[in-house]
Amino acid sequence: MNTVIISLLVLCLLPMVCTWTAIYYRQTQLGSVDNKEPRQQSLQLTGAGARAVAAQGNTWEALGVYSAAIFAVFISGIDLQSISTPVIAFVALRVVYIPVYVSNMDKLRSLIYIVGMGICIYLFSTALSAG
């Protein structure tokens, strides 16, 4: 169970990594960080800065799908330790996803996304098979 809890913690922290990355680009591209209107300022970013903002949005979205998949496994009564390998793989993919996205490696980013969603589908199917 600890693996699953730690994975949720790490995945909840990843959007902050994207935020900090976007803050760096707001400072370097725009000359300052507007804390009163940060979302408006983020819309002005281009290139890697804009991709950091987009990576944050995708990271939140992936967290939602992953959390739902973990919840499905949990309520199905499956021992959470039995899903440690896909859980670790999902976290590793999401950690790699951010720099890949910011670096504009679009094909690799899409592959990482697809594999991650495949893991979530696997977790849902595992939960369904227990019912």
Q: Could you give the C-alpha distances from 120 to 12, 16, 25, 87, 92, in angstroms and in order? A: 16, 22, 32, 9, 14
Identify the pLDDT of residue 1: 76
pTM, two decimals, is: 0.94
For 49-97, the pLDDT digits (tens) are 999 999 999 999 999 999 999 999 999 999 999 999 999 999 999 999 9
Quick one: pLDDT band at residue 131, thresholds 50, 70, 90? low
